[in-house]
Structure 1
Amino acid sequence: MFFKRHTSVLACLICSTVLSSPLVAMADTTSDKKTSGVAAKHRPMKEKQKEKTASNVPSMLGATSPTDAVEDEKVEVHGHTHDLGDGDTGRAFGGGLMTPTDAPKSVSAVTRDYIAKQNPALNPMQLIALLPGANVSDTDPLGMTGGNMSVRGLTDSQMGFTLEGFPINDIGNFAIYPQEIVDAENLKTVRLAQGSADLDSPHISASGGVVDMYMIDPKKKMGGHVDMTYGSYNATRGFARFDTGYIGNTNMRAYFSYSQGRQDHWRGPGYENKKHGEMKIVNDWGDGNRVSLAVVGNNLQNNAYPSINMASWEKFGIGVDNQTNGANAVGTTSASGDKPAVSNTVYNRYYSNTSAGSNYYKLRSNPFTNIYASMPSTFKLTDHLILTETPYFWYGYGNGGGGYYQDLSKMSYAGAPNNQMQGYLNGVPNSGSNVLYNPSLTQTYRPGATTKLTWTAGPNRLMVGYWFEYSKQRQTAPYSAISPDGSPMNTWGDSDNVVLQNGETAQYRNTLTQTQVHTPFIGDSLSLLHNTLTIDAGLKYSIVKRDGTNYLPLATRYVSTNYYQALPTAAVRYKIDKHNQVFVSVSTNYRMPQNYSLYDSGSYSKAGYSTKASPGQQPEISISEEAGWRYQDDLISSSITYFHYNFTNRLFTQTSVNEAGQYWTTNINGGGEHSDGVDAEIGTRPIYHLRPYVSFEYLHAVTDSNLPVSGRNLAGATVSDYVRTKGKIAPQAPGYQVGFGIDYDDGPRFFGFDLKYVAKQYSTFMNDEHIPDYVRMNIHMGYRLPKMGIFKSPTIRLNLQNISNQRYLGWINSPQVMAHRNTGIFGQSVGGNAPTYRIASPFAAIATMSSDF
């Protein structure tokens, strides 16, 4: 944080030369300008703050502390001063899709110049879709059902996500839910480090890089921002933020915001309803001291879109939405032999108490409530010693709903005679078949803190720190009653449950996981030759202890795992001249096994539970190497990076067939993988009001091991073998991606177009099924009106998403070893398993009115 603030001082000096360029239509200062150097007239306190004067030393040692806010700025356009509003400067490279950096590794970012012009409901993952290597998919126009992302062929569960310095991946399976994180209006920067985490990044799942998100700071003057949105599929959303300005005769300032959005499903029945609140308090004083508190609260009620297999997509496309009662199972066929099950690709609009009723859309809800709180603070203890402290707390409670058709007289129960036990609903036995509500319920408590001391002496900077976290995650999956109309008696699923004859609640899973993380780290950065040469080296040592309790009968009750992992890193950056620089970095990253690998769960039979525990898994280890070149001047910013990864113990979920001929899942280490590729991006400041941006990636990711499979042979017997996956292209790793964006902004008017091309992606390790390449295009346009009363920057804008209305599979939800029958290395003929996919969102028009006040 100490050195980042001084990057801004140099950046401001560099940017001041932009005024002399005849191609630059607007006066320019860097979009990363900090608030620390506030003019004396804005200071409410008598004691004036000093300007920060530390050297501009790039580093990969740490980035948990949030950046400061951009000052309110005005732009000179055609001789008139115009306030662009909402943090948009009109100057950032590539329309806000690129920022200058001296980091000795690959880093890309989007800023308010881009964010402020997009659909305000977009989540952070959607906002970085054009950056190099970012393969982003969504399922709805407003991003309320989340989305998925891979970077350089590594999925979002292999990446670490932080907001204001604290981790927001699920501590159990490391999933990320981008719709819950932060409102775009309060989002200052989203920073993507494609290759590696920083030393102080608080993650145990970042084998493929990190995404750091920073909120804007409260403004120094009282005011705020409001916007209203309406669009396709009855989408509505409102947002309001109030900034207090400086509070009394202090340096404290705060903002409080609230948003609420709703939309109908674009295919099939269902809707999303999201309520979201945020606050941030900042107090800075003296020379570099700062305390901030950020709190985010989210409540989401929505219905899910189903994942589908290729056979269903080819037959039904986006699905047949049945408009009349009794047509719930249109076109549904069962699996037969090597053919996967084929079913409608939307959930049923109407309910029936049959097996088809389990696909009733009201049983596929996803209610969730979560609260994030973080207090990143910086204290300048001496002229050479800085303490940074980031305590945080994460709470979440909710589920992913599902339907289940079950004869309660034959409720599966481990240890009962013939594996059968009478089930009771509300104390009444029921011998008939019923549709039940069977959500997967999770409750998480997650406190932690990252502490670090940074000592500087001349050209040397030493950082020593410690990350500690202790989390408790309770996960259950009870069966519960539904109303006569098919809706759950309780959407949360924590009451009206099926109770078995022995008095226990019937559960699909029932676990408690406690995770302790201890991670000391140390790093040193040396700046030589007048800061033209910077050398970084560091080490963190991650100690993770997991204690699990499985409350299901006949399952292993207690399990404990301990992991110890040393993670060294090193980097060199050299400035050839004031415009050109090169860098080389190497880092070690890892991802813990997911917590569900510790437990048996699911339905019970003579062969045991349908999901098998695999507690002996080793962490997934990646060694990443990068070499890059950057050219940065007043008009152009560009970079190109070569990268190489080596993976060991790749973790993935495998579906197999047990000795009883029943399908079951487990988690395995899938051996090795390596990848090579090139990332590149280039953007400009305004050239006659135009700011183009282009990104590119070439990726060659290859599986290095033959993987084990089990399944049925042609005679119907269960067999096991290895298949020849060695040398095949890894799943979810498109060979090429191209991003293009162009922004026109003359002050009153703005217009933008962006395009993303993603090459085909294999969905199996055997490369026998894939999703085709696709192109997605979006347009934004708007007009800034003159000041109207208290509204300082009234703006009207229109966002058109997926303008060609292309219908395509955007994400591989569950890669498999193989989709079709193959002959193994030892001659066994083994059947495959169908991968599943998600359908990308269609064309949508979103109109927004907004203004600062």
Structure 2
Amino acid sequence: MACMPKIRPLSLSIALILSSHAVLASSDEIEEVSVIAKKISYANHQIDTSMTQQQNTVSSVLGLMDNLPGISINEGDAFGGDDWSTSITMRGFSIDGNQQQLGMTVDGIPNGGSNYGGGAKANRYLETENLATVEVGQGTADLASASLEALGGTFNFVSIDPSSEKQTTIAYTTGDHDASRYFVRHQTGQVLGHTRAYISYSQTDTSRWIGEGSNGGTTKQHAEFKFISDFEQLSITGRLSFDDVEEDNYNSVSIAQFKQTPDWDQLTWNWTGVPHFDQMFAEGWSTLRENTLGYLKFDYALSSTSSLTFTPYLHKNSGRGDWIPPYLVKAVDENGLPTHQGGSVQSKYGFTDLAGNALSPSQGCESSYSWPWESGNLLHSACYPADAVPVMSYRHTHYKKDRFGVLADYQVMLQNHDIKVGLWYEDDERTESRDWHKVIDARVYHHFDQTPYWTQYKNVFNTDTLKLYVQDSINFSDFTLNLGAQKYMVDIEKHDQFGLTPSTRVNSDSDVLLSAGAVYQLSHELELFAGFSENFAAIKNEVLERDASTLTDIVPETAENIDLGVRFSNLDWQVSATVYSIEFDNRITFIAPGSDTGGIDYTVGTNGQYINVGGIESQGLELSAKYQVDQNLSVYSSYTMNDSTYIGNAPGFNAGDKVIDSVDDMFVISTDYTQGNLRSGLSAKYTGERGAAESYTVVDFNLGYSQSLEDAMFESVDIAFVVNNLFDKRYLSTGTGTGETFFIGGPRTATITLTANF
């Protein structure tokens, strides 16, 4: 269990925060971190849009939750512009490259999974200017939440509603690392007597903060449209978002590599013509994605005490992930004959003669020039004739997903009962394939032949989901009792498009999952709450990718969550405290195939397997408090103490070991000061040790000025200056789920945003 002395590194930062207000000018608008607890029986926190002032507009909406208790958001990119290096942890549960244990929705619409291969986190659907709030349910998930991953809690990202007033907003951001962002939004105001809407567009460009020149970066186009039409008893809400992004990734590093060069992730930015080095060329490590999500919500008031809601939605996802292996491969079928589709790798070669024939290394080279990750496949030019031609591949993994679903619920109040009955249905088709392209001339650049020379695999996964739930909130004056039950029925199928392996099907139904809780209102300002829930995560369709997985032996993951807490709120204070205990069973993990390589094994296809390996126990304490000192100054703080350990032995860990990448303790303090039209804020977050990764403290600063104008071209103008990681701390942020490598956290990054409304 973490102990308080670990917070001592914050002392300097806290002093700086408090003393800064002696020299900062004031404004009449206070930057807040709102801690709003719903009338529910489990830990719940909510942020409002003022929290965006602590982050620059180029950043991802995911980072806005980072100061809430229990949550750690880690991103390798300075702006959160790399999904590959992004992770979220909460109470020992994670969203990262290997695990998806936390649910995520946008306006209550399921995101389709948060994994890298065909999933999409909330930042693919929503920009910061269009965010109203993020509703966080730590530990216990809302029964109505539509997610197959909500073992340890849920995040619901809520978009703003259209305004009844007509307005156009234009904003431009520029900053470090070649950051440039344009944003425009038009609010129609009330039209047709019953409808209001907005449409927005943004374009974002940044460079990787590591390296210079051809060091890669992010290019993103994003558009959103939303309308609300209100009739007598019917309200219709529609929303459509489109996101097209190309991200060059970051590489994870070991502790030793970080200590040697804390500002380099081992990727390069100069093409050398030597495949051994150019396999690490940053622009060859890429994520390309398009996401389109739309829904229509029909909310019908049947009477003054009952309502019916029906929400169909559609999601289309496509893209690919890139790597540049330093060789070509020869693939053969099950009979040992050359093939361009399916099969396995017979050999790899890194050099050819002038006619294109594969060359073998000269004798005696192995002892002098073999690299650990290419033992037996020597790629050093000294082992080949002077006129040998180096060759490389450009490996693409293609992702595509089409989802159609519907959410429906009926809610009625009967005396002191508030009853809600609902369902969630979704049909999900995901396609994944991998092909290898020849780099045309590895001596020149990574331009590749558009026609692949080998397609390694192509699989289609179909997932049908039906969730039924019922909940009753019974009000006895100062005492509220919450009861609920839910059940998931999930069927998953895999189809090999090459017809080389038989179709596979697995049932991932849940038992009936129960929840219960109570809220006792001691006074107008103080309430106690307690909650218990059984949570569930279905078997992922990624499990079916692996031919060795024994599906009859794999069962869905489950978790039992208990929360006990207190909330206090008055004009000056908002305080929340929660103790929790969680037992997570039947954890599914991936066991990689045996390999004699010590680095990247580019040829791994559908090898390896998934198995259930014990579980996780988590206990902890979460505290948050906001104090309004006066009309100008507010102070916010949160503290998390978490102890997560493994149950059972498995490859990579033993029973009782700390959960990889889980954080023992976190501490946040943030102050916001306003005077007139000027606003300022300073915040610091301490993150404790995660295995071999050391603790660190990051400080952010923001300063802004807004001005309303009369009889001018613009209604108002605003300027916002934000510096993240003010003291340029070098630290390891995101883990890879292995406990051995981590992504390096972003350096000091400054941006300035100019906004005009008219």
TM-score, with structure 1 as normaliser: 0.75
1:431 to 357, 364, 388: 357
Query: Map of 1:170-189 to 2, 5 A cutoff?
Result: 170=113, 176-189=120-133
1:666 to 588, 596, 609: 609
Contact 2:555 2:612 in 1 (8 A): yes
Match of 1:731 in 2: 660
Query: Map of 1:347-362 to 2, 5 A cutoff?
Result: 347-352=268-273, 354-362=275-283
CA distance in 2 between counterparts of 1:234 and 1:299 reads: 19
The residue identity in structure 1 corresponding to 2:682 is F
Match of 1:750 in 2: 679
How far did residue 354 of structure 1 move? 2.4
Query: Map of 1:256-405 to 2, 5 A cutoff?
Result: 256-268=199-211, 269-286=215-232, 289-319=234-264, 345-352=266-273, 354-405=275-326
Specify whether residues 599 and 685 from structure 1 end up closer, same or farther in structure 2 by C-alpha distance, changes over 3 A only: same
The residue identity in structure 2 corresponding to 1:737 is M
Q: Deviations over 1:71-123 (max 9, x none)?
A: xxxxxx99xxx9x8xxxxx46xx713322432221111110222256311221
Match of 2:379 in 1: none
Match of 1:200 in 2: 144
Contact 1:107 1:194 in 2 (8 A): yes
Alignment pair present for 1:804 and 2:749: no
The residue identity in structure 2 corresponding to 1:431 is N
Alignment pair present for 1:513 and 2:487: no
How far did residue 660 of structure 1 move? 12
CA distance in 2 between counterparts of 1:613 and 1:273 reads: 41
Specify whether residues 557 and 774 from structure 1 end up closer, same or farther in structure 2 by C-alpha distance, changes over 3 A only: same
Partner SS, residue 406 of structure 2: strand
Partner SS, residue 583 of structure 2: strand
Contact 1:398 1:442 in 2 (8 A): yes
Query: Map of 1:193-232 to 2, 5 A cutoff?
Result: 193-232=137-176
Alignment pair present for 1:233 and 2:177: yes
Q: Deviations over 1:231-263 (max 9, x none)?
A: 001111010100000113x21010000001111
How far did residue 349 of structure 1 move? 2.5
CA distance in 1 between counterparts of 2:447 and 2:107 reads: 37
The residue identity in structure 1 corresponding to 2:462 is Q
The residue identity in structure 2 corresponding to 1:759 is G
The residue identity in structure 2 corresponding to 1:358 is Q
Q: Which segment drifts farther, 592-601 or 434-443?
A: 592-601
Specify whether residues 851 and 660 from structure 1 end up closer, same or farther in structure 2 by C-alpha distance, changes over 3 A only: closer
Q: Which segment drifts farther, 230-239 or 101-110?
A: 101-110
Q: Deviations over 1:589-609 (max 9, x none)?
A: 1222332221237xxxxxxxx
Specify whether residues 414 and 792 from structure 1 end up closer, same or farther in structure 2 by C-alpha distance, changes over 3 A only: farther
Partner SS, residue 438 of structure 1: strand
Q: Deviations over 1:110-142 (max 9, x none)?
A: 102222563112212101110001111112222
Match of 2:20 in 1: none
The residue identity in structure 2 corresponding to 1:368 is R
CA distance in 2 between counterparts of 1:133 and 1:674 reads: 15
CA distance in 2 between counterparts of 1:280 and 1:153 reads: 36
CA distance in 1 between counterparts of 2:676 and 2:481 reads: 42
How far did residue 347 of structure 1 move? 3.4
Contact 2:674 2:680 in 1 (8 A): yes
Contact 1:527 1:534 in 2 (8 A): yes
Match of 2:14 in 1: none
Alignment pair present for 1:561 and 2:506: yes
% identical aligned pairs: 21
Q: Deviations over 1:269-326 (max 9, x none)?
A: 1121111000101112335x3211111100112211112233332333322xxxxxxx
Q: Deviations over 1:518-560 (max 9, x none)?
A: 111111111112xx21111111110000010134675x32110
Specify whether residues 116 and 754 from structure 1 end up closer, same or farther in structure 2 by C-alpha distance, changes over 3 A only: closer
Match of 1:455 in 2: 412
Specify whether residues 660 and 641 from structure 1 end up closer, same or farther in structure 2 by C-alpha distance, changes over 3 A only: closer
Match of 2:474 in 1: 526
CA distance in 2 between counterparts of 1:733 and 1:577 reads: 37
How far did residue 793 of structure 1 move? 2.4
Q: Mind listing any 5+ residue stretches in structure 1 that lack a counterpart?
A: 1-76, 85-89, 320-343, 499-504, 602-610, 710-722, 763-769, 817-834
Match of 2:693 in 1: 771
CA distance in 2 between counterparts of 1:660 and 1:295 reads: 45
Contact 2:45 2:137 in 1 (8 A): yes
Alignment pair present for 1:637 and 2:558: no
Alignment pair present for 1:113 and 2:50: yes
Partner SS, residue 312 of structure 1: helix
Alignment pair present for 1:794 and 2:720: no
Q: Deviations over 1:797-824 (max 9, x none)?
A: 10000011111110111325xxxxxxxx
CA distance in 2 between counterparts of 1:668 and 1:346 reads: 33
The residue identity in structure 1 corresponding to 2:283 is K
Contact 1:100 1:637 in 2 (8 A): no
1:191 to 127, 131, 135: 135
Query: Map of 1:436-447 to 2, 5 A cutoff?
Result: 436-447=393-404
CA distance in 1 between counterparts of 2:121 and 2:552 reads: 26
The residue identity in structure 1 corresponding to 2:452 is N
Q: Deviations over 1:491-543 (max 9, x none)?
A: xxxx4211xxxxxx421x321100000111111111112xx211111111100
The residue identity in structure 2 corresponding to 1:561 is V
Specify whether residues 251 and 106 from structure 1 end up closer, same or farther in structure 2 by C-alpha distance, changes over 3 A only: same
Partner SS, residue 125 of structure 1: helix
CA distance in 1 between counterparts of 2:39 and 2:187 reads: 33
Contact 2:328 2:393 in 1 (8 A): no
1:496 to 451, 459, 472: 451
Match of 1:326 in 2: none
Contact 2:461 2:541 in 1 (8 A): yes
Task: Name the Cα RMSD after superposition.
Answer: 2.7
CA distance in 2 between counterparts of 1:435 and 1:132 reads: 47
Alignment pair present for 1:411 and 2:303: no
Partner SS, residue 190 of structure 1: strand
Query: Map of 1:146-165 to 2, 5 A cutoff?
Result: 146=83, 147-156=86-95, 157-165=100-108
CA distance in 1 between counterparts of 2:152 and 2:190 reads: 41
Larger RCO, structure (CA 8 Å, separation 6 or more): 2
Contact 2:546 2:609 in 1 (8 A): no
CA distance in 2 between counterparts of 1:160 and 1:219 reads: 29
Query: Map of 1:90-101 to 2, 5 A cutoff?
Result: 90=29, 95-101=32-38
Specify whether residues 599 and 197 from structure 1 end up closer, same or farther in structure 2 by C-alpha distance, changes over 3 A only: same
Specify whether residues 407 and 731 from structure 1 end up closer, same or farther in structure 2 by C-alpha distance, changes over 3 A only: closer
CA distance in 1 between counterparts of 2:188 and 2:170 reads: 15
Contact 1:205 1:592 in 2 (8 A): yes
Q: Deviations over 1:756-779 (max 9, x none)?
A: 1110012xxxxxxx2111101100
Partner SS, residue 542 of structure 2: helix
Specify whether residues 488 and 583 from structure 1 end up closer, same or farther in structure 2 by C-alpha distance, changes over 3 A only: farther
Partner SS, residue 543 of structure 1: strand
CA distance in 2 between counterparts of 1:174 and 1:660 reads: 27
How far did residue 628 of structure 1 move? 0.5
Contact 2:118 2:400 in 1 (8 A): no
Specify whether residues 182 and 659 from structure 1 end up closer, same or farther in structure 2 by C-alpha distance, changes over 3 A only: closer
How far did residue 429 of structure 1 move? 10
Match of 2:707 in 1: 785
CA distance in 1 between counterparts of 2:447 and 2:296 reads: 39
The residue identity in structure 1 corresponding to 2:748 is F
Match of 2:191 in 1: 247
Match of 2:11 in 1: none
